A = this chain, B = another copy of it.
Amino acid sequence: MQITRTADYGVRLMTRLAALPPGTRMTVADLARDSNASVAFTGKILQRLAGARLVVSHRGFEGGFELARPAESISMLDIVSALDGPLRLNECLPGGSGCDRSALCNARDVWVRAQAALAAVLSAQSLDRLAVSTAQNRRGP
């Protein structure tokens, strides 16, 4: 029960983009260098983030990637769901393959509550606050 490396790096890339001055963009190569990942891996993640309408790419001299909408309207849950798919702690939960024992099973209710608790933390964390804190950490106290 772990997020993928893709989602981990996706959060990292989105945080980097959120910390850019308004109107600034970053290329795949710069984002890859900044996040210690290969250009191919970074490009693949950005493509999926673009597909989920979380980033947009621009061509040309000042081209590159930027957030598709304000960082305060993007949550960690948005990013993780875009890359790993919707949260589903067990197959019996909505969107899963289901289970013929759901009506008899009390464990399912516990999974529902556990998933809700997890989602609540991730959806309450907006990208703008993540970027600010990370920038403060980089500067030091």
Contacts and interface: CB of A to CB of B under 8 A. Distances in A.
Interface string A118-137: 10111001000110011001
Q: Report the copy number of this chain in the oligomer.
A: 2
Q: Interface size for chain A: under 10, 10 to 19, 20 to 34, or 35 or more residues?
A: 35 or more
Interface residues of chain A: helix, strand, loop or mixed (majority): helix
Given A2-B88, A89-B1, A125 B110 contact: yes
Given A2-B89, A110-B130, 20 more contacts: A1-B2, A1-B3, A1-B84, A1-B87, A1-B89, A2-B88, A2-B91, A3-B89, A8-B91, A12-B101, A12-B105, A12-B107, A15-B106, A104-B134, A106-B133, A106-B137, A113-B121, A114-B118, A117-B117, A118-B118
